[in-house]
Structure 1
Amino acid sequence: MGRMPQLDPAIAARLKRTPDGLVPAIAQQYDTGEVLMMGWMNDEALHRTLTTGRCTYWSRSRGEFWAKGDTSGHVQHVKSVALDCDGDTLLVQVDQVGAACHTGDRTCFDKDVLLPAAGQ
């Protein structure tokens, strides 16, 4: 049995992961800049994202990988992936098909807007 392909060691060396091996990944619509959602990726999820062209995340609650859209049809086609200056967050620019949020909304960030105190 052959060895599974892994994340490029040069990329893996730059990642600063949480104690459980995860990095937050912000999904952003590539042409409008709209922030769609945040998910978690480990090395394998990032490798899958980079090699398949579809966002793959790690589900902390289910303990398994999930490719966005496999059950909903709301696929994220990857346009680019960038690592922030600290190496602890990924920005994945995507072309979102349908809703990004599990609630059926386009984005996960449109319902609960927190406003600063008056005068701030």
Structure 2
Amino acid sequence: MDKKDKKTGDPIDRAKQGTDVSLDMIRDMLRAAVQEREGEDTYINEVYPAYVIYKKGDHCCKVVYSILDGTVQLGHEAVEVRRAEAEARAQRKEGEDSVEMFICLGQANCQ
């Protein structure tokens, strides 16, 4: 499923020509690079300025990347990560006007 059309063209060609490359095009370039390395059964979850998180089977992995002249370079080693769940609770005693908030943010296991 390639996102090429007459208006935008191939994102790699656009990047090589020095024209504007949209964030969607960058995501497409990363998807192609990850799928080339890991296989077609991968899905991009999140894209960050320095790394991408993708899902393969039941596992999520994080790998650094760079893009230079339309070429995506993935880091040598992907690290398995877990999505951390966030928990929020409100505590209020009967008759009190104030509410005490308790927020606990889990931390992903990035090694």
Bucket of the pairwise TM-score, normalised by the shorter protein: under 0.3
Select the structure of larger CA radius of gyration: 2
TM-score (norm 1): 0.24
Q: State the structure with bigger RCO (CA 8 A, min sep 6), 1 or 2.
A: 1
Higher helix share: 2
Higher strand share: 2
TM-score (norm 2): 0.25
